C-alpha cells in the first residue's frame, strides 16, 4: 500500500492523538528537523479554540536550530484526514534526520494571522510532553518543553477530553487482549 511520512512535533507526538483521525499511523522513528524552531501561537480568526490556548508550530530559522519530533508512516488514504486535522496550517515537505538517514516528510506550519498569545494551555502542553516521553525524544528537549510557560487556564479543553477518552479505550482494549 502507498504510504507517506509525516513529521509531527505537537499534539500528534502522542500515538493515541494521531490515531484519533489517522488510524493507519505507524511509528517510523524519532526525527530531527534542522533549521527550524518550535514555537506556539494562537490563530486569530479561529472560530473555536479546541485547546484553550496556543498550539505548536514551526518556523524556519538558522541552521543552528532544530526541532525534535516523531516521524509517522501513514497510508495515503489518511492524507486528507491529516490535512483536515491541520486546518490553519500549510503542508509542505521537509528533510528530516532519522537514525542518521535523511527522510522526506510532510509537515505543517501555521499560516493564519495570529493573535500573539504564545502560551499553550497546560493541557495541550501535557499532551505534547506525554507524546515526547512516550516516543523517547531526547531528555534535553523534554526539559525544554517542561520549561515552557503555559497560560494557566485550568479548564479541560474539548480536544484534551476527547484524547483522554481515546487513551482510556486503548487501555481497556489492551487489558482485554
Q: Mean pLDDT across the stretch 99-114?
A: 91
6 annotated to bind ligand: yes
* Residue-level pLDDT at 34: 98
How much is the pTM?
A: 0.92
136-168 confidence digits (pLDDT tens)? 999 999 999 999 999 999 999 988 998 889 888
- Report CA-CA distances (Å) from 134 to 12, 42, 104: 12, 26, 23
Q: Is 108 annotated as a binding residue?
A: no
Q: Would you name the residues annotated as active-site residues? A: 86
- What would the 3-class secondary structure string for 109-139 be? EECCCECCCCCCCHHHHHHHHHHHHHCCCCH
Q: What is the dihedral of CA 132, 95, 36, 151, to 10 degrees?
A: -30
Query: Does the annotation flag 62 for ligand binding?
Result: no
- φ and ψ at 71, to 5 degrees? -100, 125
4 labeled part of a ligand binding site:
no
What tens digit of pLDDT does each residue of 108-122 get?
Answer: 999 877 777 789 999
Closest CA to 127 of 74, 41, 68, 56: 56
Amino acid at each position: 500500500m502507498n504510504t507517506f511520512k509525516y513529521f509531527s512535533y505537537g499534539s500528534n507526538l502522542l500515538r493515541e492523538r494521531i490515531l484519533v483521525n489517522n488510524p493507519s499511523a505507524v511509528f517510523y522513528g524519532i526525527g530531527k528537523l534542522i533549521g527550524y524552531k518550535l514555537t506556539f501561537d494562537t490563530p486569530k480568526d479561529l472560530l473555536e479554540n479546541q485547546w484553550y490556548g496556543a498550539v505548536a508550530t514551526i518556523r524556519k530559522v538558522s541552521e543552528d536550530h532544530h526541532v525534535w519530533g516523531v516521524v509517522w508512516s501513514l497510508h495515503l488514504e489518511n492524507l486528507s484526514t491529516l490535512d483536515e486535522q491541520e486546518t490553519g496550517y500549510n503542508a509542505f515537505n521537509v528533510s528530516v534526520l532519522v537514525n542518521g538517514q535523511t527522510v522526506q516528510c510532510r509537515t505543517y506550519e501555521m499560516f493564519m494571522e495570529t493573535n500573539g498569545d504564545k502560551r499553550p494551555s497546560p493541557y495541550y502542553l501535557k499532551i505534547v510532553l506525554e507524546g515526547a516521553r512516550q516516543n523517547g525524544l531526547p531528555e534535553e528537549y523534554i526539559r525544554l518543553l517542561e520549561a515552557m510557560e503555559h497560560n494557566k487556564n485550568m479548564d479541560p479543553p474539548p480536544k484534551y477530553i476527547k484524547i483522554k477518552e481515546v487513551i482510556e479505550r486503548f487501555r481497556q482494549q489492551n487489558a482485554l487482549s
